[in-house]
Amino acid sequence: MQQKVLIVIGDASETVDTLYPYHRLIEGGYKPVVAGPEVHRYNMVMHEVKPGWTITREWEGYTIQSDIAFKDINPDDYLGIFFSGGRAPEYIRYDKDLVRVTKHFFEKNKPIASVCHGVEIPAYADCVKGRKMATVPKCKFDLEVCGGTFVDEACVVDGNMVSGRTYHDHGYYMGEWMKLLDAARSKTDGIS
């Protein structure tokens, strides 16, 4: 049986932050399940600080269909979770069901990955105290005010959590998260 892994998105999720892990999960033999506030097609963006700019600029990206709404997620059905970046986390982090799901993955020590603004979700869910994480520097405050430690590196592994700063770091942290998923899958396969 293919293990399911959640990818958390909303409107203005970063295109590369979302599609790269989506396809890596398929490549690794997992079933990615795209979760959003509701089940419908979401607009993604290309999101970065361009040379000559001091703020993040966005362009329209691809769209992606969600498979499940946050309220319908039974987190016991999922091996791991990925918090995509872009501006979506700033808005969806307040969803009570997303907070419930997020807390489950931290409490159960399941494989978690976060990139860019994705940190805003576990930070709001009160799950980053004492944790080291990479994120985009403009989210450093969100992480630190909630008790986490900002690390400006391409890959930060802290127990069951792996994080990167931006989509430029995917090649560094994604493999580490896949290793955690593979180890968790091996444990559950042995139970079946």
How far apart CA 189 and CA 113 sit, in angstroms, is 21
Of 188, 15, 168, the residue nearest 111 (C-alpha): 188
| Annotated catalytic residue 168 | no
Closest CA to 14 of 51, 38, 43, 55: 43
Element (H, E) at 104: helix 96-107
Q: Is 189 exposed, middle or buried (0-12, 13-18, 19+ CB in 10 A)?
A: exposed
φ/ψ of 55, rounded to 5, equals: -125, 165
- DSSP H helices, 28-169, are 88-92, 96-107, 120-124, 140-145
Give CA angle at 164 (161, 168), nearest 5°.
155
Of these residues, 40, 47, 117, 170, which one is catalytic? 117
CA-CA distance, 175 to 89, in Å (whole number)? 23
Q: Which residues are catalytic?
A: 117
